[in-house]
Structure 1
């Protein structure tokens, strides 16, 4: 125990063959390095010292969830906002300047959010709460007269074992060999620290490891000797633990250039990132929605007629009279108020009670009505799903959701398409398209069982005999692809890590399935240019920036001859009534760009 109480975790760090005198000698050398004026609560503290000692004794390091906790913490919005307050504890403020503060009510919630990034949230929360509480005190520890903070991603290395461990844990690494007696080192050091902050590893972002080795501290001279460093400043660049470049002298421009080059080599950008694809780039990622408003009284009247003639199952939890009362007293008033003309400035949202009542009535209707009489119920849900409250509810996977009740019936109907099932399939497709109105529901629809169900509807619908069904299916396919594309584009803009592991292997398999289905649908579509337009846009969003492009998607496009199929839509064909292929200029530009830029080896 200590005055802090019992330890929350005890980790064995291994064994050492170094004798006590040698270790004492090492500690004496480190005294000049670990001084009070360099101490920083987050960046240069007891964990930094412990990590150095463990590296010297065993060649290992302390657990990453302790060592990297400051970086994880500072990568959160809370950490970034609290950073000035913590810095102020170790910097003497200007005379009369107040110490920065944060509203205390934010502390508990934000600290918990930051701690969740750690592999040991309980321990992280304990540490961060102590950090936050100390930072919020008006009377912190005595501040030194000078302050020189270390960049959070910067590693201070004092022995060969720690340096080798540093290289093993960073694919891209830059080592800065410096000396306290080197004036050029002091000139270039701020640039190096800025680069460490800009280009260092962050949560969900690729970056390099930045290390500083002072030749006069600890065993820093031995580390330098291993790489032939005799003058400072010297910068050595490592890729996968191997030296690839060296820069001598305080040349800030060359240093920045070599850091960028190293990151390019370690994390090459997606092949499509540098392509000039203005038409594809300008594609809107907003979902295609079906907002047509029917005459509610007529629709409900027709539905009431279907209810009167239906064979009501004895197992139903609701009677026909109860369902009709729900329609007249709950559903219609909600729809009329939400879709009034002129549109209300603040449309009413469905309450939990309204959602529950209508979902129970829907469950009864789904059991009682034949498929040819069920489409008005689906159409009501099409409009309901434009409401954010319904989208949030849908994402909770309720058992009586329209996806669970209607999609299986649509899948069965698509196995033996008929005129009787056409309206039902069409309305289900439009209802699902509207479910992409809101971020929460759209993200739910592209994952797990929901995505599998939607895929089983959309893929065969793309080849349906009815052109209106195919148009709606192409719209739904586009919404799926746009939802998948949004985080990829955002990650590219932010420089964040985005790979197969980020999305999951199952997304890659689904993407391959969709690319195959879209290619076949484009090949067969010789009647409706709008379908070709939406399908081509969908294909572009699926394959552009795909993490599995090189391994799965690009070889598949070659096998499917997707490029040739797209180009075939631009030439004379019987299916185009003797015309010279697709006529609309914007559609032709999109097809040409996808075929010539995305469907090639370049």
Structure 2
């Protein structure tokens, strides 16, 4: 007799993820998914261990979605035996919000009952979240929430997320409270919580137990490199000897939350019937047996507890999965010494004069008196002090409304004082964070579109100049900077940057080159971090990388270098930009290297050293000459 199998899907964030994910992470995440298996008239889920309830009567309330997983011919007694068998794996102590959670359990059950798996958008949610800069910054906080306390010590309170120095986090207290609420909701059972703190020993390593064939196949399908250990630590002494070494390697060689290369490590317990069945399926005859998989295919197998051989096989697997980028073997001292800090425009103008210049143009604007009051009564006093207060969000909301009104009412030649005020404001981390959280209505979008309608070449010089400097100052915040590489704004910005590099005015070219450098340096910082996380492995593409965008930028920067005949500062910024775009590029071998050859980039860069190509004598500054030669000879070769 067949029995229907359903997946009940709940949103642990109660709608907060859908509302706030885009502004926090740069990616739309519709929910923090909790799932339950519903079969034989029972709803079963994992939190404080395995819990059973009447379908739809758990503390999670009504599911937001019910997914039909098909039917099963397995009888209820056999399923009960399966649950008893895996209960020792799905304990409260092993629960982790990202690594081993309710969805791990339902995926295993789906595999056992139907041979299928739960939907990809649910399984992939932790990976999607951790691939964002915001998610990577939160990983240590989430790990700390579930870390097993040392015996005899008082469990630490869940810490407020603390951003790393280069990644400010919007409203850490709010984020911390949301995380605590989600974690508590995930592990509640509807009963009083156990006194033992919930934790896991596998938090910081991607060590995933597999309980059946379906979950193992799903793991192979969704990860590039997989290391599987078939063992029985209860009866096998060699298994016990190698177990801590295997776990240590999982910590060192496993997937990194920051986006680096690594393998997924999984354990199959041959002491359980399902583990024995999985071992038999893969022909395991000796304990322990290790298997190494690349793109779902087994490429090697090792029998016995040889720690040195295990390390060698894992390193070989990672080398094949993530061959080192060719640039990691290059000596690039000039690039190494290049500061990747953003170029910012921090000069403070006479703010009263700037405000008066703007206000002189608004007599015909609707509600002009209110506009004047906001500018003179709120904006200018804030800019003069530039001290963030509790009232700042109110000021920013009103100022944003004024910006939208003026940008649709005034010509660009009258708007540049407003742009210059925002340029200065963006140097305040609180303003940058607010703009990231309200990006679609932010001044970056509103004021950029004014220029897009005309093109930067046709914009009045003051507007073009101040807009490019405003956009450059956005890179003072690593919360706001990723927005330049997401969605339509990526296209809008590149449409402004490229013509600015060829502008007839030297100051506009300089500002455009500064913005190009800030974008390229931001990408380069992420690439270098990914290589460090992967212990020298290949560059892993992040969501901010886009091949077409990079090809367009490389082409434009090379052309701009060729045309720049007067300013050594502009050449310096452009060469630094092309160096950052090329170094560790994930597209270097596929498209970029052949493009450089077609563009004759090496010859163009080296020509800047010759008389007449940049001033009378060519580039003269020693550090710029070294950078030119290095980028031309090593990255454009």
Asked if Structure 1 and Structure 2 have the same fold, meaning a TM-score greater than 0.5 normalized by the shorter chain, the answer is: yes
Of 432, 437, 440, 2:471 maps to 432
1:232 aligns to 2:271 (yes or no): no
Superposed displacement of residue 525, structure 1: 0.9
Write out aligned runs for 1:112-511 (5 A). Answer: 113=179, 126-130=185-189, 134=193, 137-138=194-195, 153-156=206-209, 166-179=219-232, 180-201=234-255, 204=259, 206-213=261-268, 217-218=272-273, 229-297=284-352, 299=354, 307=360, 312-313=363-364, 316-319=365-368, 330-338=378-386, 351-355=392-396, 371-372=412-413, 374-395=415-436, 396-397=438-439, 401=443, 403-405=445-447, 408-409=450-451, 412=454, 414-416=456-458, 421-495=460-534, 499-500=540-541, 502-503=543-544, 507-511=546-550
More strand by percentage? 2
Deviations 1:178-222 (Å, cap 9, x if unpaired)?
344432222112211332344344655554343444556537667
Ranges in structure 1 where 5+ consecutive residues have no aligned partner = 117-123, 142-146, 339-345
Of 546, 568, 571, which residue of structure 1 is paired with 2:585? Answer: 546
What secondary structure does 1:243 align onto? strand
**Larger helix proportion, structure 1 or 2?**
1
Distance 1:595 1:110, change over 3 A: same
- 1:459 counterpart SS class: helix
Shift of residue 522, structure 1, vs aligned partner: 0.4
- The answer as to whether partners of 1:178 and 1:232 remain within 8 angstroms in 2 is yes
**Could you report, residue by residue, the CA deviation over 1:138-160 in whole angstroms, capped at 9, with x for unpaired residues?**
2699xxxxx99999744556776
User: Whole-Å Cα distance in 2 between the matches of residues 332 and 39 of structure 1?
Assistant: 58
Measured on the aligned residues, the alpha-carbon RMSD in Å equals 4.8
Whether contact under 8 Å (1:360, 1:400) holds in the other structure is no
Q: Give the structure-2-normalised TM-score.
A: 0.70
CA distance in 2, matches of 1:330, 1:472: 29
Shift of 1:65: 8.3
Count of matched residue pairs: 552
**CA 1:48 to 1:551, structure 2 compared with 1: closer, same or farther past 3 Å?**
closer
- Secondary structure of the 1:236 match is strand
- TM-score scaled by structure 1? 0.74
Deviation at 1:252, TM superposition (A): 1.4
Asked if structure 2 preserves the Cα contact closer than 8 Å seen for 1:154 and 1:210, the reply is yes
Matched with 2:94 is 42
Q: CA deviation at 1:519?
A: 0.8
1:391–1:440 CA contact under 8 A, matched in 2: yes
Quickly say closer, same or farther: Cα 1:497–1:77, change in 2 above 3 A. farther
Q: Which of 69, 81, 88 does residue 144 from structure 2 map onto?
A: 81
Of structures 1 and 2, the one with the larger relative CO (CA 8 A, separation 6+) is 2
Partner of 1:527: 566
Secondary structure class of the residue paired with 1:457: helix
Q: Is the 8 A contact 1:318 1:361 kept in 2?
A: no
Q: CA deviation at 1:546?
A: 2.9
